[in-house]
Chains A and B, each alone.
Chain A
Amino acid sequence: MGTEADQGHLQLAPESFLSTDLINEIQREGIDSGRRTLIRGAIAAATAAIAVPSVRAADDPDIVNLPSWTRSLGKPVVANPYGQPSPFEANIVRRQSPGLTRTDQSSVSFTPLQNLFGMITPSGLHFERHHQGWVDIDPRRHRLMINGLVKTPLVFTMEELLRMPSVSRIHFLECGANTGLEWGNVAVPTVQYTHGMLSASEFTGVPVSLLLERAGIDRQRAKVLLAEGADGSSMTRTINLENALDDALVAYGQNGEMLRPENGYPLRLVVPGVQGVSWVKWLRRLEVGDEPWATKDEAAHYVDMMPDGTHRQYTSIQEAKSVITAPSGGQKLLKHGYYSVTGLAWSGRGTVEKVEVSVDGGRNWRPARVEGPVLPKALTRFQYDWVWQGEETLLQSRVTDSTGYAQPSRAELIGVRGTRSIYHNNAIQTWRVGSDGEVHNVQLG
């Protein structure tokens, strides 16, 4: 304990870098440029506070002095009827971005991408985005109605839905506003806040196409679908029927168990490749229609502002995007030598074809290793071997998807869309590694 070896090569981002006083002040006053500087200072202070011991023992006491767990009886089964993460992992939690919203019910908590492995997000770390708070619904009292342009409007109980033929599929779920804080300038320090409205799960449920067929969809007239929630906001979104019939699910399962309440228990819509707001939680109704509905979240919000003041409406698809999750902003490289640069890539239009990494700000690119199963509209993990000798480095990743679409640089993206949108920012992310090993979020301008 307390040796340099314990620290490893990478000092993790000091996640609790904001003092309670500063968080309260930001919630009261919002973030202005002065407070951005404060936050930045707080990171530096928090980083400095984690001392790196310099003395290396000849013999590692954790090896030569057998620890208590090696010399005692362990705990019995069912000590935790529902298993929990180790207390040593207590820092790996969803976090709210101070100052982002003034209410905690219409707000966001972000997934700690910097700490996760593989291509699945633990259900308890799945980001949250609620519009009017979350609810916990008794599944025995939950119903799904299908109406509109169908032969027979139908009602299903949860029990009936669970008896129907089901499929399980792994898909990413990304909020349309993910990375939305970064359109105008660098705004947040870590990958949790820049890209943490992103997760991936195995979802289990009934294909929407089966339910619509069962209700007798009017194929001549049907063009769109309205999804509506059972919560107080009764969130509604217009869904492209083509997507819905292709691979959308009415899902009750997430990672092998029932959905978590924050993620829509007992029923949510899954629309692979489409932004999260369309994956309506606590789903109570699907209505088949022939014209879109222009609901609040497709007329006042989730509309993409273009440089000429026009808003793009019904933007839905999450285009190809990637991000390096480690090393990433707020972390610090403690030693020279080997690092496995790792991150995630995904595309709402298909599969990840290739991922490339640049260590010089996009001047030269080399292929990264794509890992594990490469599934359509799912997160794909990549790795890149890198030896750091202390030089200043600009780390970037770039994905190309199965349609041939290459992720744009920030300059390429804002060249078309300007900087005043909130939604669908899929620009290449840059992390600057300083000669001191500190990693910062930067934008090349």
Chain B
Amino acid sequence: MCSWAKGVFIALLWGTAATALASPVPEGVETLGRPATDTEVIAWDIDVRPDFLGLPPGSGDVWQGEETWLAQCASCHGDFGDSNEIFAPLVLGNITEDDIETGRVAALQDSAVTRTTLMKVATLSTLWDYIFRAMPWNAPKSLTHDEVYGLVAYLLNLGYVVEDDFVLSDSNIAATQALMPNRNGMSREHGLWSVQGEPDVRGSSCVRDCDVGDGCYFFPARLRDECARQSCRAGPRLGALPRVVDCAKQ
């Protein structure tokens, strides 16, 4: 399927979900459960969507964010969000002006570069939502709205996305989303969202004398390159086993 047609196909899958029928409610079941009060919904419905639906008003600047960071976050993530001690690094100095311009982090194509959260995440709402709901690690949901705004501002500043004097608020967060370095780096063009989706990989159904090549097996990662270099595919194909040898012994 060519790419535009695939896009339409995916869009259709995302758009038609509600046509499925729900179960009828047996008589009497309507007495189970009660309406939630407004206060209850406010207490639990804390999610923030990519379009910032659900975002509470507030603001915080980079400096306030740094102060909260050092008190609440640095012991796990390091002073600059770059620690690899307990969790994978959140931010390292590998986001470029070009990335911010294009919305694609080029370093993601380089397997030698450590992938950080800020390199991957496309949506600013994700950072706000997650920090507010789950951080700090051992005392989730203890941060104020303004503290979360400040922390997000600090993280963006560590990634060179915003300047030192930046103040993040509910009124400029949508404009700030437009600076997210990997905002164009996500794809929904795949068949793994829906049960009816189209697989991208299909296995062979060959059952006899299948061409599987020869190979080697390897254990330590560093031997993989060596395996390729030494051309493990060499050797006769006699219709029996692929020639499989321990690369380390070649």
A interface residues, Cβ below 8 angstroms from B: 33, 36-37, 40, 102-103, 105-106, 131-132, 145-147, 152-156, 160-161, 163-165, 184-187, 207, 209-210, 212-215, 217, 219-224, 226, 228, 232-234, 236, 240-243, 245-246, 273, 284-285, 287, 289, 291-296, 299-300, 303-306, 308-317, 319, 348-349, 356, 360-366, 392-394, 398, 400, 405-409, 411-413, 415-417, 420, 424, 428, 430, 432, 440, 442-445
Known: A145-B36, A293-B50. A153 touches B22 (CB 8 A): no
**B212→A363 contact, CB < 8 A:** yes
**A33→B222 contact, CB < 8 A:** yes
Which among B1-9, B148-156, B161-169, B189-197 touches the partner chain? B189-197
**A445→B216 contact, CB < 8 A:** yes
Measured between beta carbons, the chain A residues less than 8 angstroms from B239 are 363
Known: A36-B219, A185-B219, A223-B18. 20 other contacts (CB 8 A): A103-B87, A106-B87, A155-B33, A164-B32, A184-B221, A232-B141, A234-B140, A241-B18, A243-B195, A287-B47, A295-B129, A315-B193, A316-B193, A363-B210, A364-B210, A406-B203, A406-B205, A408-B202, A444-B217, A444-B244
**B134→A412 contact, CB < 8 A:** no
The listed residue (B17, B41, B188, B244) touching A223 by CB distance below 8 A is B17
Q: From residue B219, how far is it (CB to closest CB) to chain A in Å?
A: 5
The 8 A CB mask of B41-53 against A (1 = contact, 0 = none) is 1001111011100
**B50→A291 contact, CB < 8 A:** yes
The 8 A CB mask of B185-228 against A (1 = contact, 0 = none) is 11111111111010111111111111011011111111010011
Measured between beta carbons, the chain B residues less than 8 angstroms from A131 are 134
**B195→A348 contact, CB < 8 A:** yes
**B15→A311 contact, CB < 8 A:** no
Known: A147-B36, A408-B201. A296 touches B129 (CB 8 A): yes
Interface residues of B in 41-71 (CB under 8 A from A): 41, 44-47, 49-51
A165 and chain B: residue at smallest CB distance = B26
Measured between beta carbons, the chain A residues less than 8 angstroms from B30 are 214
Measured between beta carbons, the chain B residues less than 8 angstroms from A393 are 241
Known: A241-B17, A424-B192. A442 touches B217 (CB 8 A): yes
**A303→B47 contact, CB < 8 A:** no
Known: A147-B45, A236-B47, A311-B120. A356 touches B220 (CB 8 A): no
**B32→A160 contact, CB < 8 A:** yes
The listed residue (A212, A215, A246, A412) touching B204 by CB distance below 8 A is A412
Q: What are 8 residue pairs bridging A and B, where the CB atoms are less than 8 Å apart in the complex?
A: A232-B134, A245-B22, A294-B50, A309-B105, A317-B191, A360-B240, A400-B205, A445-B224
CA distance A91 to B14 in the complex (A): 46
Q: Which 3 residue pairs of A and B lie closest in terms of their CB atoms, listed nearest first?
A: A442-B217, A406-B203, A444-B215
Judged by a CB distance under 8 angstroms, whether B144 is at the interface is: no
Considering residues B33, B122, B244, which has the most beta carbons from chain A within 10 angstroms of its beta carbon?
A: B33
CA distance A147 to B46 in the complex (A): 12
B133 and chain A: residue at smallest CB distance = A234
Judged by a CB distance under 8 angstroms, whether B86 is at the interface is: yes
Measured between beta carbons, the chain A residues less than 8 angstroms from B200 are 416-417
CA distance A40 to B195 in the complex (A): 39
The 8 A CB mask of B93-109 against A (1 = contact, 0 = none) is 00000000000111011
CA distance A13 to B205 in the complex (A): 32
Q: From residue B216, how far is it (CB to closest CB) to chain A in Å?
A: 6
CA distance A37 to B246 in the complex (A): 13
Judged by a CB distance under 8 angstroms, whether B157 is at the interface is: no
**A156→B108 contact, CB < 8 A:** no
Judged by a CB distance under 8 angstroms, whether B172 is at the interface is: no
Judged by a CB distance under 8 angstroms, whether B242 is at the interface is: yes
The listed residue (A222, A317, A365, A417) touching B17 by CB distance below 8 A is A222
Judged by a CB distance under 8 angstroms, whether B158 is at the interface is: no
**B126→A296 contact, CB < 8 A:** yes
CA distance A424 to B34 in the complex (A): 40
A-B contact count (CB 8 A): 310
**B186→A303 contact, CB < 8 A:** yes
Known: A145-B41, A147-B36, A444-B215. A220 touches B23 (CB 8 A): no
Q: From residue B228, how far is it (CB to closest CB) to chain A in Å?
A: 8
CA distance A411 to B239 in the complex (A): 19
The listed residue (A40, A246, A364, A365) touching B20 by CB distance below 8 A is A246
Judged by a CB distance under 8 angstroms, whether B25 is at the interface is: yes
B interface residues, Cβ below 8 angstroms from A: 14-26, 29-30, 32-36, 40-41, 44-47, 49-51, 85-87, 104-106, 108-109, 111, 115, 117, 120-123, 125-126, 129-130, 133-134, 137, 140-141, 185-195, 197, 199-210, 212-213, 215-222, 224, 227-228, 232, 239-242, 244
Q: From residue B229, how far is it (CB to closest CB) to chain A in Å?
A: 12
Measured between beta carbons, the chain A residues less than 8 angstroms from B213 are 411, 444
Measured between beta carbons, the chain B residues less than 8 angstroms from A215 are 33
The listed residue (B104, B185, B244) touching A442 by CB distance below 8 A is B244
CA distance A292 to B29 in the complex (A): 30
Measured between beta carbons, the chain B residues less than 8 angstroms from A273 are 195
CA distance A217 to B204 in the complex (A): 43
**A365→B194 contact, CB < 8 A:** no
A155 and chain B: residue at smallest CB distance = B36
**A443→B221 contact, CB < 8 A:** no
**A213→B23 contact, CB < 8 A:** yes
**A311→B47 contact, CB < 8 A:** no
The listed residue (A163, A303, A362) touching B210 by CB distance below 8 A is A362
B129 and chain A: residue at smallest CB distance = A295
Measured between beta carbons, the chain A residues less than 8 angstroms from B34 are 154-155
A285 and chain B: residue at smallest CB distance = B44
Considering residues B26, B130, B203, B242, which has the most beta carbons from chain A within 10 angstroms of its beta carbon?
A: B203
Measured between beta carbons, the chain A residues less than 8 angstroms from B188 are 312-314
**B240→A309 contact, CB < 8 A:** no
Known: A209-B22, A222-B18, A413-B201. A37 touches B220 (CB 8 A): yes
Measured between beta carbons, the chain B residues less than 8 angstroms from A233 are 133-134, 140
Measured between beta carbons, the chain B residues less than 8 angstroms from A405 are 199, 202-203
CA distance A243 to B120 in the complex (A): 27
CA distance A398 to B239 in the complex (A): 20
**B47→A232 contact, CB < 8 A:** no
CA distance A222 to B204 in the complex (A): 39
